[in-house]
Amino acid sequence: MNTKFDCIVVGAGHAGCEAAIAAARLGLKVLLCTLNIDNIALMPCNPAIGGPAKSTLVREIDALGGVMGLAADATYIQMKMLNSSKGPAVRALRAQSDKREYMDYMRNLIEGEQNIYLRQAAINELIVEKGAVTGVVDEFGIDFSAPAVVLTTGTSLGGRLFVGLQSYSGGRLGEAAATGLTQSLNKNGIKTGKLKTGTPPRVDGRTIDYSKMIVQPGDEQLHFYSFRPGRPVRPQVPCYLTRTGEKTHEIIRANLDKSPMFQGLIEGTGPRYCPSIEDKIVRFAANPSHHIFIEPEGLNTYEVYIQGFSSSLPAVVQAAMLQSMPGLESAHIIKPAYAVEYDYVPAVQTRHSLMSKTVNGLFFAGQINGTSGYEEAAAQGLIAGINAANHVRGADMLELDRSSSYIGTLIDDLVTKDINEPYRMLTSRSEYRLLLRQDNADARLTPIGYKAGLVDDAQFAVFEAKQAAIEQTLRQLSAQQKQLLKRPEVNYNTLENAPQVADDVAEQVEIILKYDGYIKRQQAQVEQSDKLEKFRIPDDIDWSQVKHISGETRDKLSKIRPKTLAQASRIGGVKPADISVLMVLLNSSNS
């Protein structure tokens, strides 16, 4: 049996797919292990990619040479630009995906990679020697060796499913939990905790009366995730909107005694920004109703996703709740909603490269790091895959900073803050969101992806041609035309005698001119922050001996071990006065 590899990726969800493909394309021989080979790139929750902040992550993945944007573009059944009437920093593309087509597309990519070897098996144990990972042991007792291992276990690690007061072992509905690996992590000095998430029921679309709902169509003018040319134009299908009402809320309130969350059976904290419907009713008791979106799961299925209706109440109660809403009076549930509690690894134990601080060569990506969402998982998987390759080849780690990307912001938040609830990327989490827009992700990150080896010559040539066209157009426009474009009511297409350019070039020229003052102001903030980034903190610093800062601050700095003063300043509980003390200390040690 072939048991020697350069990299082993555990889990084939959105993080695992990106990690395996990136590592393989960078020359590594990769073993991709999954609990169920038929569930590669499964969308266990909503069948959609993107949305606020998340669309920027997908565009950044594409700019770096990742594949999520390509898959979303190839399999969408609806494309919609959210917040289109607002500024570019908050506009967000969202693709309703054909769930099965998305999985098939991603599996085809994986099977097209000569360096990826698939295996259906649970990984129960890590092999660690002298502080470095050297391989894994699967459920059949077979050892596989590799100098790099990427764990992307999603909700499977020690997973337990809840429907009402019933619970059973499982990572996702119909799929077993991964057992044993948590104990192996703990044995090797890595701490774990518990988080909770959930998913809504799926309904038979033939039992829905759409005439009682509000139609939600896609956009006539299409936008895509990938900056690469040749994106497909596909027929779009509508989503629909209905609402909960007082009857729905009465049913929920009358059955809270049957909720595992409200009865204390679930220890883990759930996602604040995606609460269950029962949690919404309790937390927002004054709200008379809540939006519920009806979303198709694909073109060739009548299975429908009930967005906004996550629950862990008993299945019979779920049916009554659904049937109390307009258009769902006869709804037939195909799959009940459920909650899942699972083990995760608090990411303060990892570096910005996503490699463990405790076990060399061991990387973590996705929900195991305490995040929520396909896009957050894929972004981490891409960075972990690149850095697994860099680790094996002895190259420098790729670490993106906050001013470069949402991916950098996401990872920095994870590794410098104590995350005790599933982390979701939000535009408000980035202090540089006017610079880090979805529309300019290629300008920010394509050169980095090219240098890393994932962006090929053809993609880079497309990027260079676009940037040259933007610069040329800015030179060709007269001073008067530029002044006109700064007006809110004027856009590039209404500008008289403007050069004829591609839509994406016109968009960039318009944004650059309209937001010039704001962009310059934010660039000044980046430069100010860069001053703290230049204050490097020695790796061997003994925080217990640093005076004039509190014991609590010393403990946090010792736990997280920031590399720069800028990173130290973002750790929760570290005060500006502490940073001033450290600045004096570092200045004196360098003089």
Give pTM, 2 decimals.
0.94
Residue 579's CATH number: 1.10.150.570
355 pLDDT band, cuts 50/70/90, is: very high
Assess whether 312 and 347 both reside in one domain. Answer: no
**What percentage of the chain has pLDDT greater than the value 90?**
79
Assess whether 390 and 410 both reside in one domain. Answer: yes
Token reading at 510:
């318009």
50 inside domain:
no
Mean pLDDT calculated for residue range 345-372: 96
Angle, CA 216 vertex, CA 54 and CA 57 arms, to 5°: 10
Would strands 148-151 and 30-34 be described as parallel, antiparallel, or unpaired? unpaired
At residue 452, what is the residue type?
A
Helices (H), 360-431: 374-393, 406-416
The residue assigned the tokens 């709902």 is 213
Assess whether 541 and 504 both reside in one domain. Answer: no
Q: Is residue 572 predicted with pLDDT exceeding 80?
A: no
Integer Cα distance of 20 and 378 in angstroms: 11
Assess whether 332 and 266 both reside in one domain. Answer: yes
Integer Cα distance of 245 and 405 in angstroms: 41
**What percentage of the chain has pLDDT greater than the value 70?**
99
Residues 6+ apart with CB under 8 A from 498: 477, 481, 492
Identify the DSSP state of 350.
B
Assess whether 413 and 518 both reside in one domain. Answer: no
234 inside domain:
yes
Assess whether 261 and 164 both reside in one domain. Answer: no
Residue 506's CATH number: 1.10.10.1800
* Whole-number pLDDT of residue 268: 83
Identify the DSSP state of 11.
-
Residues 6+ apart with CB under 8 A from 294: 208, 210, 213, 239, 240, 241, 242, 304, 305, 306, 307, 327
The residue assigned the tokens 């990519």 is 109
77 inside domain:
no
At residue 100, what is the residue type?
R
Integer Cα distance of 194 and 269 in angstroms: 7
Whole-number average pLDDT of the chain: 94
Tell me: the pLDDT tens digits for 93-106? 999 999 999 999 99
448 inside domain:
no
Q: Is residue 145 predicted with pLDDT exceeding 90?
A: yes
Assess whether 296 and 220 both reside in one domain. Answer: yes
Closest to 369 measured CA to CA, from 124, 74, 14: 14
* Whole-number pLDDT of residue 305: 98
Assess whether 170 and 180 both reside in one domain. Answer: yes
Q: Is residue 590 predicted with pLDDT exceeding 70?
A: no
Name the domain boundary from 383, 412, 443: 443
Residues 6+ apart with CB under 8 A from 67: 17, 18, 21, 61, 106, 109
Residue 471 — φ and ψ, nearest 5°?
A: -65, -40
473 inside domain:
yes
Assess whether 494 and 518 both reside in one domain. Answer: yes
The total of structural domains in the chain comes to 4
Cα 62–chain centre separation: 13
Q: At what angle do helices 503-514 and 457-476 cross, to 10 degrees?
A: 50
Tell me: the pLDDT tens digits for 388-429? 999 999 999 999 999 999 999 999 999 998 888 999 999 989
The residue assigned the tokens 């790091």 is 369
Tell me: the pLDDT tens digits for 14-26? 999 999 999 999 9
* Whole-number pLDDT of residue 535: 83
> 48 has which bridge partners?
96
Tell me: the pLDDT tens digits for 296-336? 999 999 999 999 999 999 999 999 999 999 999 999 999 99
Tell me: the pLDDT tens digits for 236-294? 999 999 999 999 999 999 999 999 988 888 888 888 878 899 999 999 999 999 999 99
Q: Is residue 53 predicted with pLDDT exceeding 80?
A: yes
At residue 383, what is the residue type?
I
Q: Is residue 213 predicted with pLDDT exceeding 60?
A: yes
Say if CB 404 and CB 444 are below 8 A apart: yes
591 pLDDT band, cuts 50/70/90, is: low
The secondary structure of 76-134, three-state, reads EEEEEEECCCCCCCCCEEEEEECHHHHHHHHHHHHHCCCCEEEEECCEEEEEEECCEEE
73 inside domain:
no
Residue 127 — φ and ψ, nearest 5°?
A: -105, 115
Name the domain boundary from 476, 498, 524: 524
Residue 12's CATH number: 3.50.50.60
Integer Cα distance of 369 and 187 in angstroms: 18
Assess whether 476 and 510 both reside in one domain. Answer: yes
Say if CB 144 and CB 127 are below 8 A apart: no
Angle, CA 571 vertex, CA 566 and CA 577 arms, to 5°: 70
* Whole-number pLDDT of residue 17: 98
Residues 6+ apart with CB under 8 A from 89: 427, 433, 434, 437
Assess whether 22 and 154 both reside in one domain. Answer: yes
228 inside domain:
yes
74 inside domain:
no
Q: How many CB atoms lie within 10 A of CB 144?
A: 22
* Whole-number pLDDT of residue 319: 97
Helices (H), 349-456: 374-393, 406-416, 441-452
Helices H / strands E in the chain, number of each: 18, 21
**E strands, 200-302, in order:** 202-204, 214-216, 239-243, 291-296
Assess whether 106 and 133 both reside in one domain. Answer: yes
Closest to 545 measured CA to CA, from 517, 585, 577, 518: 585
Say if CB 527 and CB 496 are below 8 A apart: no
Provide the residue range defining the domain that includes 508.
Answer: 456-524
Name the domain boundary from 467, 497, 524: 524
Structural element, H or E, at residue 480: helix 479-485
Closest to 237 measured CA to CA, from 403, 79, 82: 79
The residue assigned the tokens 């995350």 is 419
Residues 6+ apart with CB under 8 A from 121: 33, 35, 138, 139, 140, 142
